[in-house]
Structure 1
Amino acid sequence: MAKEDAMQQPTKPRRHVTGVDGLRALAVIAVIIYHLMPNVIPGGFLGVPIFLLISGYFVTMQLTAEYDQTGKMNVLHFYHKRFKKLYPTLIAMLVATSAYIGLFQKTLLKGIRETVLTNLLWVYNWWEVDHGQSYFDRFNGESPFTHLWTLGVEVQFYVLWPLILWLLFILLKRQRTWVKWIVLALGIASAVEMAILYDPMNVNRVYYGTDTRAFSLMLGSFLGLIWPLRRLKAKLTSVAAGTLNVIGMATLLIMIWGFFNLSGEASATYHGAMFAYSLVGMLLLGTVVHPGAVMNRVLTNPVFTWLGQRSYGIYVYQFPVMIFYETAIKVGNAPILHAVIQTALILGISELSYRWIERPLANYDWTTLPQTWQRLISGQWNRGWLTITPVAIMVILAGWALVEPAPKPVKSTTQARITKNAKETAKRNKMIAEGKTPKVDIDSDDVEKKYNLTASQVKQLQQMQVTAVGDSVMVDASSDLQELIPKAYIDGKVGRQANEAPQVLQSLANQGHLANTVILNLGTNGPITDATVEQIMEIVGKKRQVYWLTAHVPTRSWQDDVNNTINATAKKYKNVHVVDWHGLSDKHDDWFAYDHVHMEANGNVQFTRLIATQLLKK
C-alpha cells in the first residue's frame, strides 16, 4: 500500500470514516439478498467476514491508541460502551420475536429458553454447533435466531481481545513489533484450523466456531496495528495515491465478485477461499480508511450511509421478518415481489428501532433511571405511558412464551410416512444389493388401477433397474416407487442439499448401485449451482440416462431458479430428461400436505406415475 509514503507523521484521526458505512452497507445488502434469494448471490454470506474485519480493525486501533497514550487500557469502559450499544437492539428483537412465536408459531417454542439465554450471554454460536441446523439448510424448520451466531463471535472477541492485546503489549514491551506478527499468525492458525476441522457433511463446527472464524477478526486487528488512522497522511505523492486507488478498486471488484461466485457449500471455501476473501477485504478496508485515497468517497453516498448506520439493526431483525413472512406467504411464485416486500419490512422495522431504541438508549445515561421513573410516575412525562404500555405488553407476552411448555413433538401423517418409508426402503435396498427383487404387496390388477397404467406398462416397469437419489420428497414417495418399480435402488435423505449429490452418486457408483437409469429429485432445500450440476454429470457420465424432476417449493424463493437450472441442464446434456413435477402439480394443492411441498397419498401416486410414464418413453 505504498506504506512509506502513506504512513508518515501522525495526524489527528477523523472521527468517522463515511466509506466504512459504505462497506457495512454492501455487506448487509449481500447478506439480505442471500437470505431472501440465495440463488442470486450464493456468496452473500461473505458479508459477515466484512463486518468482522471492520470490528477487528477499529477495536484494535482504538485500544492500541489508548495504550500508547496512557500506558493502560480501560477495559471496563470499553465493555460498557460495547454492551450499551449492542444489548438494547438484541433484547428488543428477542422480546418481539418470542412474543410473536408465543402467539402465532408455537412450533418454534422448542429450545427457545436456551436460545434466548445463550444469546443474552453471547455464546449462541457455540450452542448452534451442537443444537442448531446448518446455516445453509433453508427449508427444514429454519429458526428466526440462526443468524445471531455472528453476534456471539463478535462479542466474545470484544470480551477477550482487550485482555489478550494488553497481555501481548506487556510481555513484548521491548519487542513491540512482534505483536502484529503474532496477531497475523493467530489469523493464519484460525484459517488452518477451519480447513482441518471442515466436515462436508456437517459444517456447523467450522462455520459457527469462534476459533475457526477468528481469522477475519485477526486480519482486521493486524490492519489496526500496521495502518492506524492516526498515522495516515492525507497528502500523498501521485504514485502512492494511485497505488492505493488501484488496490482499492481491484479489491472492491473482487469483493463483489465473491458475492456472486463463492459458495458456502463448496469445500474450497473452507480450505482457504474464505481466508483469501478476508485478506482482500483487509486490503480494501485499508484503502477506504486512508484519507489520501479515493475509496472513501467512492463508498460514500446518502443511501450507503443510511444503511451502514442501521446495519446492526437490519442484520438483527432480518431473519424473524423472513421466517415469519415466508411461513405465511407462498413466496416461490413471485420471489422478486416478495423479496421487495420483505426488504421494505426489514428496513422499516430497523428504522423504527434505530430511532426509538438503538440511538436513544446508546446515549442514555442509565444513572438517571430513577429520576426518569419518578417523572413517569408523577405525570411529568406525559407521553411516557404511551411508550411504556406497549413495551410492557410485549415483555409479558415474551415472558409467557418463555415459560410456556413447548408443544410435544407430534409427527404428522406425512412425517410418520417418511420415517416408515425410510426404514422400508433401506430393507428393500439391501435385498436389491443382494440380487433379490422385493415383492410387491398388492396384485398386478390393483397396481394397474392405482397408477392408471396398463398391464404391459406395469410389467415393463417391474423389470427396470433404476437408481433414484433425492431429498425428503423422494423418501416420501419411495414406497410407491418401489411398489411400481421393485428394482429401484433409492437413496433419499431428509434435508439433503443438492451439493451432497455428487458424493452420494460417487459412493453408489463405487458400490455398483448406480444403474444405467438415474432419477434425481434435488432442489427442495436450496438452489443448485452450475458447479454441482457439472460434478453430477461427470459422475453419471454420458451413457446413463438421467431423469430430473423439477421442484415444487412454492414457499421458497429458489423454486423457479432450480427449475430453470434443470431445464438448462437438459438442453446442455442429451442424456438428461426433464420430469416436470412442478408443471403437473402446480394447480393441485390437494396433492400436498400442510407444507405445500411433501405429498399426501394421492400426490405420491401422481409423483410416481409421472416418473413411470417418463421412463416408459425411453
Structure 2
Amino acid sequence: MNSRIKKVKGSRALKRTEDFKAQDVSSDRFLLPKRRYMTGLDGLRALAILAVLIYHLRQEWLPGGFLGVAVFFTLSGYLITDILANGKAAEDGGGTLRLSLKEFWIRRARRLLPAMLIVVSAVVAGAWLGASSPLPELRGDVPAALLYISNWWFIFHKVSYFESFGPPSPLGHLWSLAVEEQFYIVWPIMLAAGLKWIRSRISLAGWVLGLAAVSAALMAFLYEQGTDPSRVYYGTDTRGFALLIGAALALVWPSGKLKLQVSRRASLLLDSAGMISLVLLGFWTYNSDPYDDFLYRGGLFGIAFVSAVLIAVLAHPGSRIGGWFSARPLVWVGRRAYGLYLWHYPVMMLTTPQLDSGGSHWLRLFLQLLATFLLAAASYRWVEDPIRQSGFRGWLAGLSTTMNVWGRWKRLPAASLLFILFLVLFSFIHLYLPPTLLGSTDASGKSGSSTTVLPVFQNKPEQTGSHEGKAPSETGPTVPTSQQTTGGEGAGTETALPPTVDGHSPEGSQTAENSSAVQSSEEHSSEAGRPQEDTSDQLQAPQSANQPDDSAKPSNGKPSKENPHGTGGDITAIGDSVMLDIEGDLQKMYPDAVIDGKIGRQMADVPAVLQRLAEEGRLRETVVLELGTNGAFSNKQMKKVLAALKDAKRILLVNTRVPRPWESAVNQALDKISSTDDRIQIVDWYQASGGQTSYFEQDGVHLKPEGAAAYTLLLNQALSDK
C-alpha cells in the first residue's frame, strides 16, 4: 500500500517537474515552487498582440486594436505582482516580500533587453540603408529607447501619437515598454513597503486601487477635449492605473492559491464572467478609436477593470474558457508576443513607402506579417529563450559550443536559410514591388487608411520651423520656383515651397528662415481688396479622368454657367496647411474669396475661426472646409461647426488623403455628417488623388504645384455644381 502511494506521489512530482521545466518567462514569471503555468494567459496575450498588429496594418479593420496595449498593461501588472508577492512569500507563510529585488531586476533584464537591443540595432541599420532615412529622429529615439524613457522623451519633445506629417519613428512603439519598465523599477519597492506595513492583502489591494483611481483621475484632469491627447496617452502617471489594477488583482487572486477543482456552479460563474468580459473587450476593440473622449474620461479605466476580470477567469484552473484560450496556436503566438510587438512596427515603417497615395496592397501586408512572424520566431528561438534559461554567459557559451561541436553544425543551415529568407523578403518589398503595386489605385471612393501606426509622431521642434514660417503666395498659382509677391508686408520677398518631411525646404526653393521673414504668423488669411499680382498665365493642371478641363479658366469677374460664383465674393474657404498649399491657385481663380488657412488647425478650432470671420464680416454664404489633415474629430465637434454655420446656404466638406491612422476616421465622419444636412456636399479629394503620387510632397500630405492645381480644379468643379 505504501509503495503504491509513493508511486502515485512520485508520478505527481514528476508531472510538477515537467510543468516546472515547461514554464516560460514569456509569461513574465520566474521558476518558483507552487506556481502553475497559465497557458490561458498566453492565449489572451496572443489576441492582444494580434489586435495591435491588425490596427497598425489597417486601422479601419479594427479601429480599437490599440486597446491591446491596455490589456498588456493590466496583464503585466498581474503577473509581476503575482511573482513578487505570491512566490516564496507564500511558501514562508509570511506577509513580507522574500524574493530578492536584485534577482527580480536581473531576470527582467534577461527577459527584455536582448531582443530590444537587436531590434534597435536592426532599425538603425535599416534606416541607414533606406532611401528615406529617419536617422535624424533616431538620434534621440535610440538613447530614449535604451534607457526606457521613450514615453517621456516623446512628451517633452512634443512628439504626438496622433498628429504628424513627418515619417513615424520606427521606435515609436517602444513608449509602452518604457511605461512597463518604469513600473518594474518602482513597483517592487512600493510593494515591499506595502507588504511590510499592511498585513492584510485585501487592505493593501484597496490602497493599490486607490492609487489607480488617482492615476485615472489625473488622466481625466489633464485631458482637454479637442486637443492632442498624447500627453495623457504616453504618461506613466496617467497610464499607471492599468498596471495597478492588475497588481491589485494579484494580491487578492494569487495563482498559487486558486483551487484546482471547483463546483459546477462556480465554474459556470467563472465562465459567464469571462465571456461577458471578452464580449465587452471585443465590442470596444471594434468600435473605439484613439480620438474618443470617452477613453480618457474613465473609459480606459473601465477597460482595465474588465481586462482584470478576464485575467482572473483565465488564471483559474476551474474555468473552461481558460482551456479555449490554451489552444496551441494561441499559446505559440502568446509566447512570442514580446518579439512580435518589438518587430512589427519597424518592419511596417521601414517597408511602407512614405509617399503611399494609393493605400495598402494585400501583398505588402502579407509580406510584412510574414517578416514580422519570422523575426519574432527567430528571436525567441535563438536569443530570448536561451538567455532566459541560461543567462548571458550561458548563451554565449552555447553559441561557442554550437560553432565548435560538429554534431550541432546541423543547426546552422536552418539559421542561415531563415536569415537569407528575411533578406529576400525585405529586398523584394523594396526592389521588386513598385509604388503602383505597393499602394493600390482603387478609385472606388471608399475611405480607407494606408498602412501606418498607433503611434505616429510629430517632427521634432527643430524640424518644424520651415512649416511654421511658411508664407503662402498672396496670388497666383504655386510654381516650382519662388515667385515675387506684391502688396502688404510681403512685397518684394520670395515665398517658400512646402518643406520636405525632414524639415528642409525642397532643392532650389527659398529657405525657411527667409520664408519666415515674409510672415511670422502661423495663420494666413487673404481676401478681396488686397493687391493682386498681375499675371496673364492660365492656371494649368495635368489632364486626368478625375480633373475637369473647362473649369480651369480663371474668373472674368461675372457669374456664368461654368463659374456661377464669379470672382468668389460669396465664398469663404477655411483649412489647415493644405489650404495654404492651394491658396495661390484658388485666389487666382476666385480673387474675391476669403481664404483662411493655418498650420496645424483642427476641427475643434473652427467655431472660434467662424466667429472671428463673422465679426469681421468675412463669413460668406458658401463655406469650404478643408480639415482632418492633423487628426480626427468627434461628431460633437462637427455639430458645433454646423451650428456656427447656421446662416450658410452651402457647405463644402473636402475629405482627406493623409497616410496616417486617422484618415479613414476623418472621411467616415464627413460622410456621416453629410447625411444629416442638405446643405453639405462632399468634395472627394481622396478619390481624385488616388494613385497620384506626383501630386504630393515626400510626406504624402502636402501638395506640389501639380497637386495644388488639381485640388483647385476639383474645388472649382464642386463649386460649379448646383
TM-score, normalising length: structure 1: 0.83
Q: Summarize the Cα distance change of 1:515–1:323 in structure 2 as closer, same or farther, 3 Å threshold.
A: farther
- Residue in structure 2 matched with residue 310 of structure 1 by the alignment: 336
Q: Summarize the Cα distance change of 1:139–1:590 in structure 2 as closer, same or farther, 3 Å threshold.
A: closer
- Residue in structure 2 matched with residue 99 of structure 1 by the alignment: 125
- Residue in structure 2 matched with residue 510 of structure 1 by the alignment: 611
1:351 to 353, 377, 382: 377
Asked if the contact 1:467/1:515 (under 8 Å) is kept, the reply is yes
Query: CA–CA distance in 2 between the matches of 1:414 and 1:198?
Result: 43
Asked if the contact 2:110/2:392 (under 8 Å) is kept, the reply is no
For residues 467-499 of structure 1, the C-alpha deviation after alignment (integer angstroms, 9 at most, x for no partner) is 333343222112332343345444444455xxx
Q: Does 2:202 align with 1:183?
A: no
Q: Summarize the Cα distance change of 1:595–1:167 in structure 2 as closer, same or farther, 3 Å threshold.
A: closer
- Residue in structure 1 matched with residue 452 of structure 2 by the alignment: none
Q: Summarize the Cα distance change of 1:609–1:374 in structure 2 as closer, same or farther, 3 Å threshold.
A: closer
Matches within 5 A, 1:107-186: 107-131=133-157, 133-137=159-163, 139-173=165-199, 177-186=202-211
Q: Secondary structure at the match of 1:520?
A: strand
Q: Give 1:320 deviation, angstroms.
A: 0.8
For residues 329-359 of structure 1, the C-alpha deviation after alignment (integer angstroms, 9 at most, x for no partner) is 8374445554333222222221222222222
Mean Cα deviation higher: 310-319 or 579-588 = 579-588
Query: CA–CA distance in 1 between the matches of 2:404 and 2:274?
Result: 57
Q: Give 1:583 deviation, angstroms.
A: 4.0
Q: Give 1:275 deviation, angstroms.
A: 0.6
1:69 to 91, 94, 100: 91
Q: Does 2:532 align with 1:440?
A: yes
Query: CA–CA distance in 2 between the matches of 1:17 and 1:414?
Result: 62
Query: CA–CA distance in 2 between the matches of 1:375 and 1:234?
Result: 42
Query: CA–CA distance in 1 between the matches of 2:163 and 2:235?
Result: 17
Q: Give 1:122 deviation, angstroms.
A: 1.3
Query: CA–CA distance in 2 between the matches of 1:240 and 1:16?
Result: 22
Q: Give 1:158 deviation, angstroms.
A: 0.9
Q: Summarize the Cα distance change of 1:153–1:446 in structure 2 as closer, same or farther, 3 Å threshold.
A: same
- Residue in structure 1 matched with residue 53 of structure 2 by the alignment: 32
Which structure has more relative contact order (CA 8 Å, sep 6+)? It is 1
Matches within 5 A, 1:603-614: 603-614=707-718
For residues 80-117 of structure 1, the C-alpha deviation after alignment (integer angstroms, 9 at most, x for no partner) is 11110101110010000001111215641114233222
Asked if the contact 2:525/2:596 (under 8 Å) is kept, the reply is no
Q: Which amino acid aligns with 2:314?
A: V
Q: Give 1:264 deviation, angstroms.
A: 1.6
2:223 to 198, 202, 205: 198
Q: Give 1:188 deviation, angstroms.
A: 0.4
Q: Which runs of 5+ in 2 are unaligned?
A: 1-32, 424-462, 464-500, 542-551
Q: Secondary structure at the match of 2:53?
A: helix
Q: Secondary structure at the match of 1:305?
A: helix
Q: Secondary structure at the match of 2:651?
A: strand
Matches within 5 A, 1:566-605: 566-567=670-671, 569-586=673-690, 588-605=692-709
- Residue in structure 1 matched with residue 116 of structure 2 by the alignment: 90
- Residue in structure 2 matched with residue 519 of structure 1 by the alignment: 624
Q: Does 2:352 align with 1:260?
A: no
Q: Secondary structure at the match of 2:66?
A: helix
Query: CA–CA distance in 1 between the matches of 2:368 and 2:315?
Result: 33
- Provide the aligned length of Structure 1 versus Structure 2: 583
Q: Which amino acid aligns with 2:504?
A: V
Query: CA–CA distance in 2 between the matches of 1:595 and 1:327?
Result: 10
For residues 174-201 of structure 1, the C-alpha deviation after alignment (integer angstroms, 9 at most, x for no partner) is x554311111101000001111112442
> RMSD between aligned alpha carbons?
3.7
2:506 to 412, 418, 423: 412
Q: Give 1:581 deviation, angstroms.
A: 2.9
Q: Which amino acid aligns with 1:46?
A: L
Q: Secondary structure at the match of 1:365?
A: helix
Q: Does 2:266 align with 1:243?
A: no
More helix per residue: 1
1:44 to 65, 68, 74: 65
Query: CA–CA distance in 1 between the matches of 2:667 and 2:151?
Result: 34
Q: Secondary structure at the match of 2:625?
A: strand
Q: Which runs of 5+ in 1 are unaligned?
A: 1-11, 395-405
Asked if the contact 1:332/1:558 (under 8 Å) is kept, the reply is no
1:222 to 245, 248, 256: 248
- Residue in structure 1 matched with residue 495 of structure 2 by the alignment: none
Q: Give 1:362 deviation, angstroms.
A: 2.0
Query: CA–CA distance in 1 between the matches of 2:73 and 2:354?
Result: 33
- Residue in structure 2 matched with residue 546 of structure 1 by the alignment: 651
Q: Give 1:289 deviation, angstroms.
A: 1.0
Q: Which amino acid aligns with 1:593?
A: E
- Residue in structure 1 matched with residue 325 of structure 2 by the alignment: 299
Asked if the contact 1:139/1:526 (under 8 Å) is kept, the reply is no
For residues 245-289 of structure 1, the C-alpha deviation after alignment (integer angstroms, 9 at most, x for no partner) is 221111111101111222222222111111111111111111111
Q: Give 1:507 deviation, angstroms.
A: 1.5
Q: Which amino acid aligns with 2:66?
A: F
Asked if the contact 1:550/1:563 (under 8 Å) is kept, the reply is yes
Query: CA–CA distance in 1 between the matches of 2:522 and 2:106?
Result: 60
Matches within 5 A, 1:271-290: 271-290=297-316
Query: CA–CA distance in 2 between the matches of 1:40 and 1:423?
Result: 45
Query: CA–CA distance in 2 between the matches of 1:439 and 1:447?
Result: 19
Q: Summarize the Cα distance change of 1:273–1:377 in structure 2 as closer, same or farther, 3 Å threshold.
A: closer
1:469 to 571, 574, 577: 574
Query: CA–CA distance in 2 between the matches of 1:556 and 1:506?
Result: 25
Q: Summarize the Cα distance change of 1:442–1:586 in structure 2 as closer, same or farther, 3 Å threshold.
A: farther
Asked if the contact 2:357/2:690 (under 8 Å) is kept, the reply is no
Q: How much identity, in percent, do the aligned residues show?
A: 30
Query: CA–CA distance in 2 between the matches of 1:259 and 1:43?
Result: 4
- Residue in structure 1 matched with residue 80 of structure 2 by the alignment: 59
Asked if the contact 1:332/1:559 (under 8 Å) is kept, the reply is no
Q: Secondary structure at the match of 2:59?
A: coil
Query: CA–CA distance in 1 between the matches of 2:502 and 2:648?
Result: 50
Q: Secondary structure at the match of 1:219?
A: helix
Q: Give 1:172 deviation, angstroms.
A: 2.5
Q: Give 1:241 deviation, angstroms.
A: 2.4
- Residue in structure 2 matched with residue 9 of structure 1 by the alignment: none
Query: CA–CA distance in 2 between the matches of 1:470 and 1:62?
Result: 54
Asked if the contact 1:24/1:51 (under 8 Å) is kept, the reply is yes
Query: CA–CA distance in 1 between the matches of 2:664 and 2:205?
Result: 49
Q: Secondary structure at the match of 1:578?
A: strand
